[in-house]
Chains A and B, each alone.
Chain A
Amino acid sequence: MSLFEPDFLTRLEYLSIISKRVFRGSLLAQRRTMQLGSGIEFSDHREYTPGDDIRYLDWNVYARHGDLLLKRFQEEQDLHIYLLLDCSRSMGFGDSPKFDLARRLIAALAYIALAGLDRICVLSFADGVVDEFPLTRGKARILSLMKFLESQQVSGSDTNLGRAMQGVLQRSRRNGIAVVVSDLFDEHGFQPGLDQLRYRQFDGHVLQLHDAREADPALLGDVELLDIETESLRKVTVTEKNLRAYKELFQNHQRAVREYCRNHGLGCTQSDATTPFDELILRMMREVGMGG
Chain B
Amino acid sequence: MSLAAPLALALTALAIPIIIFYILKVRLRRVPISTNLFWRQLYDEKPPRSIWQYLRHLLSLLVQLLFIALLVLAVADPSFSWQLLQARRIVVVIDNSASMRAADVLPSRFEAAIENALATADGLRFRDEMAIVLAGPEPEVVIGMSGHIPTLKRALRSINISDNPTKLRPAIEFAQQLVGEHPHGEVLVFTDGCSKEERPGSGAESLESGAESLESGAESPDPGDKGSDSSSPVPPSSVRPSILHRRIFGSAEAGNIGITQFQVRRSLIDPLGYEVLVRVHNASENAVKARLELELDGAPVDVLPLDLAPDGVFTRALEKTSLAGGTLIARLTEIPADNNSLKTDDTAWAILPPREIQNVLIVSNNLFLRKVFEANPLVRVSVVEEFPDTWPTSGIIVLHRDVPQKLPPGNLLVVDPQNDSDLWTVGESLVNPIIIKQDAASPLMTYVRLDNVIMPQAKQLHFTAAPHVLAGSLSGDPVYAEVKRTSGKCLVLSVNINEGDLAFRTAFPIMMTNSLGWFAGRQGELRPALQTGAVTEVDLVDANVRAAEVLQLRSPVGELQPLVVRGNRGQENQEQPDSIGATPSVSLPPLDAVGLWSVVRKSDAVRKSDAVRKSDAVRKSDARPLAEIAVNLSDVSESDLRTPVELLPKNKPAILAASWLSRPLWFYLAVVACLLTVVEWWLHQRRMIA
Q: Does A140 contact B (CB under 8 A)?
A: no
Q: B690 contacts which chain A residues (CB < 8 A)? A: 239, 241
CA distance A94 to B688 in the complex (A): 25
A114 to chain B, nearest CB (A): 32
B43 cross-chain contacts in A, Cβ below 8 A? 234, 236, 242
Other-chain residue from A222, A229, A237, A240 in contact with B34 (beta carbon distance below 8 A): A229
Q: Do A225 and B35 have beta carbons less than 8 Å apart?
A: no
Report, as a range, how many residues of chain B touch the other chain.
20 to 34
- Quick one: closest B residue to A94, CB to CB? B34
In the complex, identify which listed stretch (B24-32, B86-94, B522-530, B585-593) lies at the interface while the others stay far away: B24-32
> A67 at interface (Cβ–Cβ under 8 A)?
no
A5 to B218, CA, bound (A): 92
Main secondary structure of the interface of A (DSSP, over half): mixed
Q: CA separation between A222 and B46, bound complex, in Å? A: 18
| Cβ-based interface call for B650 (8 A) | no
Contact A223 B37, beta carbon cutoff 8 Å: no
User: Which of A192-227 touch B at CB < 8 Å?
Assistant: 211, 214, 217, 219-227
Contact present for A90 and B31 (CB under 8 Å)? no
Q: Is the CB of B38 within 8 A of A228?
A: no
B39 to chain A, nearest CB (A): 6
Check B35 against A90 for contact (C-beta < 8 Å).
yes
Do residues B28 and A235 form an inter-chain contact, with CB atoms below 8 A? Answer: yes
User: Nearest Cβ distance between residue B44 and chain A, in whole angstroms?
Assistant: 10
CB-CB < 8 A to B37: which residues of A?
185-187, 253
**Contact assessment for B34 and A214 in the assembled complex, using a CB-CB cutoff below 8 Å:** yes
* B29 contacts A183, C-beta separation under 8 Å: no
Chain B's closest residue to A227 (CB) is: B36
Which of A219, A227, A233, A235 contacts B35 (CB under 8 A)?
A227
Q: Assess whether A275 is interfacial by the CB under 8 Å rule.
A: no
Contacts known (A245-B42, A246-B42); A226 close to B689, Cβ less than 8 A = no
Contact across chains for B34 and A239 when beta carbons are under 8 A apart: no
Q: Which residues on A sit within 8 Å (CB–CB) of B53?
A: 237
- Cβ-closest chain B residue relative to A93: B34
- Chain A's closest residue to B684 (CB) is A221
Given contacts A185-B35, A227-B35, A234-B36, contact A239 B30 (CB under 8 A): no
Q: Do residues A239 and B688 form an inter-chain contact, with CB atoms below 8 A? A: yes
Interface string of B674-690 (1 = CB under 8 A from A): 00000000000001111
Indicate whether A249 reaches chain B with its CB closer than 8 angstroms.
Answer: yes
Residues from chain A with Cβ under 8 Å of B39 in the complex? 225, 234, 236, 246
Judge if A170 is at the interface, Cβ distance under 8 Å: no
Asked if B36 and A253 make an inter-chain contact with CB atoms under 8 angstroms apart, the answer reads no
CB contacts (< 8 Å) of A229 on chain B: these are 34-36
- Chain A's closest residue to B48 (CB) is A237
B269 interface contact, C-beta 8 A = no
Q: Is B33 an interface residue (CB 8 A)?
A: yes
Chain B, 563-598, contact with A by CB distance < 8 Å: what is the 0/1 string? 000000000000000000000000000000000000
Cβ contacts under 8 Å, A227 to chain B: 33-36
B38 touches A246 (CB 8 A): yes
Tell me the residues in window 137-182 of chain A with beta carbons closer than 8 Å to chain B beta carbons.
Answer: none
Q: Are B30 and A232 in contact (CB under 8 A)?
A: no
Across the interface, name the chain A residue whose C-beta is closest to B53. A237
A250 part of interface (Cβ distance < 8 Å): yes
Docked pose: A228 CA to B31 CA in angstroms: 10
Contacts of A241 in B (CB 8 A): 689-690
Given A221-B688, A226-B33, A241-B690; A253-B28 close (CB under 8 Å): no
Q: Determine the chain B residues whose CB is within 8 A of the CB of A38 once the complex forms.
A: none
Chain B residues with CB under 8 A of A234: 36, 39, 43
What residues on B are CB-neighbors of A222 within 8 Å? 28-29, 687
In contact, A226 and B42 (Cβ under 8 angstroms): no
A279 shortest CB reach to chain B, Å = 23
- A230 contacts the other chain (Cβ, under 8 Å)? yes
B36 adjacent to A225 (CB under 8 Å): yes
Bound-state CA distance A241–B39 (Å) is: 13
Q: Are B28 and A223 in contact (CB under 8 A)?
A: yes
| Interface positions of B (Cβ within 8 A of A) | 28-39, 41-43, 46, 48, 53, 687-690
* 15 additional contacts (CB under 8 A) given A221-B688, A226-B33, A236-B43: A93-B32, A94-B34, A183-B34, A187-B35, A221-B29, A223-B31, A226-B32, A227-B34, A228-B33, A229-B35, A232-B36, A234-B36, A239-B689, A241-B689, A249-B38
19 CB-based A-B contacts, threshold 8 Å: A93-B34, A185-B35, A185-B37, A214-B35, A217-B31, A219-B31, A220-B688, A222-B28, A225-B31, A227-B35, A228-B34, A229-B35, A229-B36, A233-B30, A239-B689, A240-B688, A242-B42, A246-B42, A250-B38
